[in-house]
Amino acid sequence: MFEKILIANRGEIACRVIRTCRTLGIRTVAVYSEADADAQHVRQADEAYPIGGPRPADSYLRGDAIIEVALRCGAQAIHPGYGFLSENADFADAVEAAGIAFIGPKAASMRKMGSKAGAKELMQAAGVPVVPGYTGENQDPALLHGEADRIGYPLMIKAAHGGGGKGMRIVRDSEEFLALLESCQREARNAFGRDRVLLERYVERPRHIEIQIFGDRHGQVIHLNERECSAQRRYQKVLEESPSPFLSAELRATMGAAAVLAGQAIDYVNAGTVEFIVGQDGGFYFMEINTRLQVEHPVTELVTGLDLVEWQLRVAAGEALPRAQDSIGQHGHAIEVRLYAEDPEAGFLPGSGKLERLRLPSADAHVRLDSGVIEGDTVTIFYDPMIAKLIVFDQDRPRALARLRGALAQCEIAGPKSNIEFLERLVRHPAVVEGRIDTGYLDRHLEEFMPSAQVDAAGDRDLLIGATVVQLLAQERRSRDNAAASNDPDSPWAIADGWRLGHGGRRPDSPWAIADGWRLGHGGRRSLAFVQRDERLELQAHGSGGDYRIEIPALADVQHQVQGARLDGAELSLRIDGRARRLTAFGDGLTENGGRVVMHDGQRRLRLESVPMYRHEHSAASGSGNNVTAPMPGRVVVVKLAAGDAVEAGQEVMVIEAMKMELSLKAPRAGILAEVRAVAGDFVEADAVLATLETA
């Protein structure tokens, strides 16, 4: 076994590999970019070395710099993680040429799978089922259009050298083919440096099921059963689980055998994943082999009881596979979701910024967390915005879903926006709970997974009242604390509205007691204000000490009686109009200047910003509809129009690339472009004005 390895990756991936190496007594070496000098993988590794600038091309994609570090520090092997150079055959060759072991498949196997077109032809020859399509090298648009018409619609255009959902377009009819082909090729060039595409028949409402395979240098190839990844948005997986709720035992065995056949066809060594699409009739078709460890490998680890990174290390060191096919078990059910810094309500726009608060559930036998950041770290614009992977395990699928719902309820992220609320709705949706989701379901029904625009449902009303009560109790606690620290702790002026309703508004022992309960600044009533999705909500409260009458003027002057409210840490118990509730409070909004307040009832959460009553803000459309602005920092990849051009409302003006995705920037209205302030290749900041329209 190796004594020291270098991990040619970052973040959660590197931290995951480091954990296994520690258990095996293997020393680890990390590499890092300028943006990652304080990152967790740097802090957790035994050694770490800088390799360049913040952009991946200047650091984590510099194979020569990584190999130089490995040679200098005496690393015997390089683990590429997943992403970056993990499927780069030239890098694997260079590592081996330097006398260092590559912890992954052979470069020859990668090259066979590096082209989707070549892989499809190879699998078809080996007897693995494939989808009808075109994989030829002739990329003439007219020929491709003719082939598309021959295959029939709907069909998919796919980047031949792509992955991760990039360079893929669904074409529904012949008239839209050429426009989507151009878009797909441009994205493929930007992401992978090559724009070759292949065409294949699009299977309607398919399931995405992948088989984990493992091979060793002694000729053995086995499979470790399946993962289902059908819950996807724009080809990006959002929930992975094992076993699949769709597969029968017979279909599982048939697909497993086909996956092993695929691995044998390319003399596969180390960890890999054979991906299939499966029709509603159970027919399955080869998509690709990912020649690396997958981001969703933890669900396989939990149901098999195996450490796949340990297997990778042992196989790379020349050992035989630790187990034979007939000894691979499958116990219980595991589900994984990924917490991202992104804004689902803004089209899942990736976010960045400091993680001012990061609250995650405690890890135990049922909950696993794989993360590369902690509270106080920064999610940068240069890399994937994933914060953590949350993986749960239990005896069966219903119990695992319940575990996942409970774990998500304990999560809270402050700083960049996150997808937590989206995930909570996802794991409660009937299509997920009943196991009938297909790869296109989320895109067809995305509105079903989005939060409501207003606080109007009874459950949300309770959460709003809970947030108000938390604020009231916090105000009273602060006043008591201030009074205790003052020179006159018994002064009535230092007591927050401490005269209870029902006592005639008097403190019997106070000479300042007044019959109507008047107090400076309160008048027997306290007013609070919140902002939710740019809407201001004002409330009035009477009472104290956990008993209140709360009025919500914006909601038809509704009044609610609250009794027996108690806040124990983050847990709030109270009775609302006679109904006992237990809620959880997160946030930093318990200050005089306002802040976030998040209330959760175990099923849904309500995010509010507590603001001072005197603060009123007015927001208007950026530039009154005359500007095209960057929604986030990024790089301009194409500019479609020039100053003086006429433009229609919604017409694409330019495209920027940020956090591994393309963002189309469109005109806010019809008019004439007065200025275009960016060219392809420019790096732009968030909210930068990139083009302006002439004032009407």
Whether the link from the prior residue into 489 is cis, omega within 30° of 0, is no
Catalytic choice (292, 526, 605, 607): 292
- For helices 177-192 and 141-151, angle between their N-to-C axes, nearest 10 degrees: 120
- Torsions phi, psi for 316 (to 5 deg): -65, -25
- Residue 373 near residue 388 (C-beta atoms within 8 A): yes
Helix and strand numbers (H, E) in the chain are 16, 39
CB atoms within 10 A of CB 457: 12
Angstrom distances, CA of residue 3 to CA of 13, 358, 434, 621: 20, 34, 47, 59
Rounded CA separation 313/3 (Å): 11
User: In the annotation, is 604 catalytic?
Assistant: no
Which residue type, as a one-letter code, is found at position 469?
V
Token pair of 564 as six digits: 């027996």
Token pair of 462 as six digits: 């309770």
Which is nearest to 145 in space by CA: 187, 182, 189? 182
Rounded CA separation 566/381 (Å): 42
* Close Cβ partners of 204 (under 8 Å, ≥ 6 residues apart): 154
- Helix/strand/coil for 53: coil
Chain-centroid distance of CA 479 in Å reads 41
Residue 606, classified by CB atoms within 10 Å of its CB into exposed (0-12), middle (13-18) or buried (19+), is: buried
Q: What is the dihedral of CA 497, 500, 501, 503, to 10 degrees?
A: -130
Which is nearest to 119 in space by CA: 234, 250, 265, 293? 265
Q: Catalytic amino acids?
A: 292
